[in-house]
Each structure stands twice: as C-alpha cells, then as structure tokens.
Amino acid sequence: MSTSTSRTTTPTTTTHQHQHSPIPHEKIAMRAYDKWCKRGRPQGSEKQDWLEAEHELRQELSRGQGQTTTQRR
C-alpha cells in the first residue's frame, strides 16, 4: 500500500515593506490620505493611493540615503 504525503502550505503575505527598508505604516497612511483628499476624495481609489504613497516614500528614502553617503565623503 502506498502512502501519499500531502503538504499543507500556509499562504504568506509579503509586502514591499518587508522586502525593503521599512516605512512606517502611519507615514504611508498619511501620504495616501493626503493624495486622496487632493484628488477630491473619490471612492474606490484607496489601493492606488496607498501604492503611490508607498512608492513615493521609498523613492524619497532611497534619495535621502544616497545623499547621506555622498555628503560623508
């Protein structure tokens, strides 16, 4: 009689925040809220606002780190 081994995998949620330098949740939320308000508070845009805010903050963080290393020289 053959035995079958089945693996049970638990789905993992990986966000960009865990893959790169962590950006505080509150900062992303504040930026996304500001973007939403400036666009007239449309319904259904929260995910896009969040992703744009996170992307902008990552760019600012990477630019800030690059400036710090050039200033040290």
Structure tokens at 30: 């504040």
Find, among 68, 73, 62, 57, the residue nearest to 25 by Cα: 57
pLDDT band at 11 (very low <50, low <70, confident <90, very high): very low
Question: Nearest 5°: CA angle at 61, between 60 and 62?
Answer: 95
3-state secondary structure of 28: helix
Average pLDDT score over residue span 1-23? 51
- Predicted TM-score of the model (pTM): 0.59
Q: In this predicted structure, what is the pLDDT of residue 3? A: 56
Q: Check whether 2 has a pLDDT greater than 70.
A: no
Alpha-carbon distance of 48 to 12, in angstroms, equals 22
